[in-house]
Amino acid sequence: MDIEILIKSLIPATQVATFLSLFFSMYYLIYTRRLKKRFLSLARLPENVDNLKELASQLRLVRSKNPFSPAEGYEVMIRVEQALKNTEKKLRSQVLKKCKRLINKTKSYTKTQTTPTKENTTELYSELQGLIDGINDEIKDQQWG
């Protein structure tokens, strides 16, 4: 008889334990997926930096041509904007703010279809170089822990 009472009193406790284990399992499943997504995005960050460096050098070449070509400058600005949007998802903190500011700047050039000038491309080039340096610093910080 005592065993029956003991078993009946344990049934609610097992139900609560089952519910809590389901809750913790769901929490850790979601947490590990976020962790995996963050790790994979950080793994691709150096590749994005290389792409940004290549676009920066193209922007520098367009800027340095003696008869400045606005069409080439516009084309490179559009590619820079797309590369920045792709990189933005992988950044944090101050570097993310710089990236968003630079995206807005390139949007202002590309959306209004303002003819790029040497001054615009020079300004964009120098800000892009600063962003690349910031991203490289963030990659080094990630490697240290």
| Listed residue (94, 80, 101) closest to 141, CA to CA | 94
> 121 and 63 in contact (C-beta within 8 Å)?
yes
Whether pTM > 0.85 for this model: the answer is no
**Do residues 80 and 106 touch, judged by C-beta distance below 8 A?**
yes
Report the pLDDT value the prediction gives residue 54, as an integer from 0 to 100. 93
User: Which sign does the torsion angle of CA 127, 128, 133, 135 carry?
Assistant: positive
Q: What is the pLDDT of residue 1?
A: 57
The dotted CATH code for 38-144 is: 1.20.120
List the chain residues with pLDDT less than 70: 1, 113-114, 144-145
Q: What is the pLDDT of residues 98-128, one digit of tens each?
A: 889 998 888 887 787 667 778 888 888 899 9
